[in-house]
Amino acid sequence: MNSEPSDIAQMLKPIFNEEITVLDQEKRLSELGLNSVQLGELHYVLSTYAQDISIEFLLRNPSLGEIMGLFTGKTAQQKPCDHIPIDLIAEFNQYKNMTPHITSLPKAMPQHVLLTGATGFLGAYVLRELLSNTSWNITCLVQASSPAAGRSRVIKNMEHYGVWDPVYHDRIKIVLGNLEKNNLGLAKQDWYYLADTVDLIVHGAAVLNFIYPYQKLAASNVFGTKQLIEFAGYRRLKALHYISTVGYFMSADLEDDVVINEQTELAPEDGIYGGYNQTKWLAERLVVHARNYNIPTVIYRPSLITGESQTGYWNQEDVVCRILKGCVELGARPLLDAGFNFVPVDYVAKAIARFALERPYQSDTYHLINPQEVDVDQLFGYVKAKGFKIEDVAYPDWEKMIKEKSQFDLNHPFSPLRPFFTEKVVHKDSSLFDLYLHNNKAKIDCTYTKTQLGKHEIYCEKIDETIFNKYLNYLIQCGYLT
């Protein structure tokens, strides 16, 4: 379909509540502050004029000019997964050079910790555990307009998950920064002050997106981690505790029944698919590489992080929550011979805090996973027991339902995850979800981690019906599941 720019501008005007001028055409959707409702409206309006407008195209954050170009034939809808394959070895070589400038050693026991990701789900619980079990002062690196606004973000996040206590207030310091910028985006005086006083870094911040390619995630997930490694080796030596994921193993070309323990490393030739997984693999390689420069680093590889085991509080933007909500709204779930490895967020946070306290400067890798998985039949059995009407359908039929439902409903829970289920990754005739299912036979071993945590009587609870009902009750009470 070809249309005049003036016609297209008139079509888009009700959504943006303003005239779209030639100058505006360079603005991207992210610059216009669209919320999810407006984005849904935009997709609906565009779809009435061109049936093949994809959700993925809008989620790529196009400019208004690119959107208008769809109708004039000047813009092609590139699928998010159709990007140039990444040479991870070349990327590693680009980032690997490090120049530590260490002038002093850390305190025998950490006293000052820098935490990233404090405004996230896991970050709220890690912050609580550090504050509750140590006397350390915690500085949170936050993106905000002011320190007061940053503090408000941290407190509101902890309140949201029920872990805020006013006694924490004076021990939390806020510093404004940005992982995508040089020197962490810190003001010069903050950089030098923290370089001289921080003993330990807990790095939990990352952009989690299953749609974006490597290039869109590297600035935060890879460059940001490299910046923290450089910071760890500048002036006072600091330990870096990095929160990674076992997920990237599940996106690789693995042999059936392979055992993956804490010392297992993947090589790029093993195949690592999906932009997010590629960034986590590369960041982890850089963290390991830092040990060659005498920077102590610890890597935590959690599996799928679920809600708090006592209260049921859960991150509603989590992929598993979206799958649950999506299946409830579809009224269907897939028949799969597979399981989920769920770990309660409080277990992960307690483990990280305990290792930071007991072994702050001892380089190591830990698998924070559940020794007992929950299979798909069990999972949806719990959901059905709550009264939700969900049919059991073959996986290909369920996949087709997702594609059809989410194509014209951007607000559907599956819409942001649609490429995860339906798009074929580069050089593979499989989606990322297909790869996860195939690699479900791989055994993630946590014997070493379990032994170390057992010394402190920290154990991962089995996600049984009692715990999962707490999750479901929370999601129902807050109106997420209806």
**Tens-place pLDDT, residues 51-107:** 566 656 776 778 878 887 777 665 555 554 444 578 999 999 999 999 999 999 999
How far apart, in Å, are the Cα atoms of 2 and each of 12, 70, 71, 72, 424?
15, 8, 5, 5, 30
pTM comes to 0.87
Residue 359 and residue 423 in contact, taking contact as beta carbons nearer than 8 Å: no
Percent of the chain past pLDDT 70, that is, above it, reads: 82
274 close to 210: Cβ distance less than 8 angstroms: yes
Q: Is the separation of the CB atoms in 156 and 219 below 8 Å?
A: no
- pLDDT over 50 (residue 395): yes
Q: What is the mean pLDDT of the chain?
A: 87
The pLDDT value recorded for residue 39 is 62
pLDDT at 436: 75
Type and span of the H or E element at 166? none
**What pLDDT sits at residue 82?**
46
Give the integer Cα–Cα distance in Å for 335 and 379. Answer: 12
Q: Which domains does the chain have, with CATH numbers?
A: 5-72 (1.10.1200), 88-317+340-373+448-469 (3.40.50.720)
Assess contact for 415 and 324: CB atoms under 8 A.
Answer: no
DSSP per-residue string spanning 362-413: --EEEEE--SS-EEHHHHHHHHHHTT---EEEEHHHHHHHHHHHHHT-TTST
Percent over 90 (pLDDT), the chain: 62
Q: Give the pLDDT band of residue 266 (cuts 50, 70, 90).
A: confident
Q: Rounded CA gap, 25 and 64, in Å?
A: 5
Mean pLDDT, range 306-329, rounded to an integer: 94
CA distance 454 to 446: 12
pLDDT grade, residue 275 (50/70/90)?
Answer: confident
- Considering only 31-35, 198-202, 273-277, 439-443, which range has the smallest mean pLDDT? 31-35
pLDDT at res. 451: 97
Which of 271 and 339 is assigned the larger pLDDT?
339
**Secondary structure class of 178 (helix, strand, coil):** coil
Q: Say which range, 131-135, 223-227, 249-253, 470-474, has the weakest mean pLDDT.
A: 249-253
Show the tokens assigned to 420. Answer: 């995860």
Banded model confidence at residue 49, pLDDT cuts 50, 70, 90: low
**pLDDT over 70 (residue 237):** yes
